[in-house]
Structure 1
């Protein structure tokens, strides 16, 4: 009899322990304060222990819980510094680290996907995983023709685990909201649920990666590993490795951060027009910097299909905001469903809400910082802020949700890098219509 129901119940109990454990530590901390303990020291200890539990639970569960943690890690730059540090390292760990699955499970999955003689496909196969992700882990190997390859193997029971985790996380969305201030957690979880079916079939991921690899083949700035073989739950691709972006974020020089930021922005804004696809998982664990300076991009399980490039209405909204045309902006937003029916919002309020997000495009270069992102999150997430009421009147139509989240996620990573990026030139190369008025004057 399958043990999936028993494992699912165990996962649900562990997920439920997250807010309960935090509440218990808060009560204990309050008791210590009553006894004369130092408030700042107690708060720091509580945050550190909460972060440890966050990683332990989400990392062990993998699946949807780990995927959720990875999505949150992109936005840690928005959390005020005095609260963020303990969670920062825990969330970064979730980008690439998770307890490995047993070797017997790896062998069984490879036999199911490539046949009982799967070992004959490889000259060498490293039993120790090189990396772990939300629904699978990666092993280094040598293909039968001598090429070094990365073998991605899906965890057994990944589908059931994803559904269970995301359902439970959805119930906990209000308790998890402080980890991403100014961001609605429930829509994020719902959107993650919608993408899971695509990510579970590695043949889809292989097709996506092949499309990106063909477009960026020989590119001087971007490297996409070639796909060697694929099956529903296993995938083999070219082994390429460099310096992890999380390491650049943590200890890179100013020049290294700026370089990485420019490469990341170039990839994000060019892909919709070059590949008609958008890489939809922009957490730092999916990016590395190679020795020759190129940005290595991995994990193509989640993509947005954009046959015409970025959606025209989003580009036009940006143009109206840049040109300070509030009435045109409001008309477009109402026509496209960006304003909730029955709500009152002025054109000036809508422009004021969106204007700071176009700020990086007003100058030739823009320094993305944690302080800037924290200010934006505080502005739209503070209950006392006028922009909070404006935000409640706005709506994000489902067809734009993924593009919006990925763009915000990319900006979040740029702020983690604190990179100075020539964003106006990068965006203008692929969306020249945004700056046509400037060129004419």
Structure 2
């Protein structure tokens, strides 16, 4: 029922936006954005992830829409204990409670697709049980239909960006997130990739207590990263450096990224004195595996921008999947590329939003790109770009929260050390086999 209500709400918002324009209202105005946000605000489900994602892609939605949607929260109200008992019985059988020495009645965390309960195994291990909400398959499909309505609003705005592949990519990744068997393999993949890193921690899945809609893994003890926001710079930098390594090392070495890097997906592990010592990676639903050549494109674009090598830059965009680019469109894309790569191009210690207030981070570049594409576009965004861009922006946002000051150039080039496409391909294949992922790249 709530999805039907949201569909009505979104459709009603579109109708009110159209009526406002007949009366002379400004296209893409803050008032229109607020109407759409209000229509979506009661749905604390997958569509909130989509809304927040779209808010990070320049011109995927009008800036006023993006500003409103970016403020929406993906936190869901937790299922009550009676509901949890029924769901656990559906996944593990009527005697499920006997499989645990202890199982908390209260959720430790509730998110858009499911909630996490702390439990204890009979051998004393602390466990995290991530239980999917009921009927999420139909909920996701309903939300994807609403996504089409949102894109229809944008098409009426004479868009500068062709959003067709954006929609396909989002749909494929959301459907993957529903499969906890796949997420368990993603965890195994990250355990393989990061097995040599001493202070980045990946949980161990308990396969006997996991199903397609329930994943049970070891509990990683830690504290929320925001709790260290006011700590000394050394502590904040330590956490930021671990985050950088946890994100860029898998990509540069294996062509794998975590597509949803926000503060809730990490915690700080502590040493015996209570100080941060390492990083816990907590969620593996949104993992994107890229062809090695795409990684080559990311590296080539970086090196092309550093050397102002036009041919290498164009070749990189072609590898990414951009087609039919004119010189004008390449110049426009470079505005956004220089913003994304900016912290990685200066061999000095700096903040991510160096000299710019966090509230203005990327806004000037997004506005410039938006205006230029309206004149010179449209441009079709390749689907591989969607989560790469979203993840880079999300990671930058975490660094801003931590107020980190690091030499991102050196960190990135350390991650790139010895980079070759063949090396990425070989390491990726070996890690996928070890994790039980038979297909090289995501479905869809």
Give the TM-score band, short-chain normalised.
0.7 to 0.9
Q: Distance in 2 between matches of 1:147 and 1:228?
A: 11
Structure 1: 5+ residue stretches without partners: 1-5, 31-42, 435-441
**Aligned residue in 1 for 2:130:** 152
**Aligned residue in 1 for 2:340:** 357
Alignment of 1:89-168 (within 5 A): 90-91=71-72, 93-94=73-74, 97-168=75-146
Q: Deviations over 1:233-262 (max 9, x none)?
A: 10111112433235556x566554433332
- Are residues 221 and 377 of structure 1, via their aligned partners in 2, closer, same or farther at CA, if it must alter by over 3 Å? farther
Residue number among 62, 66, 71 corresponding to 2:48 in the alignment? 66
**Aligned residue in 1 for 2:441:** none
The alignment status of 1:9 with 2:4, answered yes or no, reads yes
> Which deviates more, 137-146 or 253-262?
253-262
TM score, norm. by length of structure 2: 0.74
TM score, norm. by length of structure 1: 0.74
Q: Distance in 2 between matches of 1:354 and 1:85?
A: 21
CA apart distance, 1:314: 2.2
**Aligned residue in 2 for 1:245:** 225
CA apart distance, 1:203: 0.8
Residue number among 382, 387, 392 corresponding to 1:397 in the alignment? 382
Residues 137 and 155 of structure 1 are in contact (CA less than 8 Å); yes or no, is this contact kept in structure 2?
Answer: yes
Q: Distance in 1 between matches of 2:280 and 2:93?
A: 31
Q: Distance in 2 between matches of 1:264 and 1:183?
A: 31
Residues 161 and 378 of structure 2 are in contact (CA less than 8 Å); yes or no, is this contact kept in structure 1?
Answer: no
Residue number among 173, 177, 180 corresponding to 1:199 in the alignment? 177
**Aligned residue in 2 for 1:277:** 256
**Aligned residue in 1 for 2:244:** 265
The alignment status of 1:408 with 2:393, answered yes or no, reads yes
Residues 127 and 218 of structure 2 are in contact (CA less than 8 Å); yes or no, is this contact kept in structure 1?
Answer: yes
Q: Distance in 2 between matches of 1:285 and 1:75?
A: 21
Q: Deviations over 1:256-304 (max 9, x none)?
A: 4433332221111101255553222212221222223312212111212
Aligned residue pairs total 397
The alignment status of 1:378 with 2:374, answered yes or no, reads no
CA apart distance, 1:428: 0.6
Residues 74 and 283 of structure 1 are in contact (CA less than 8 Å); yes or no, is this contact kept in structure 2?
Answer: no
Structure 2: 5+ residue stretches without partners: 271-275, 420-444
Instruction: Indicate the RMSD between aligned Cα atoms, in angstroms.
Output: 4.2
CA apart distance, 1:363: 1.7
CA apart distance, 1:349: 5.8
CA apart distance, 1:326: 1.5
Q: Deviations over 1:340-388 (max 9, x none)?
A: 36x563766665553343321222233112234222222222x2x5x66
CA apart distance, 1:394: 4.4
CA apart distance, 1:149: 0.8
CA apart distance, 1:323: 0.6
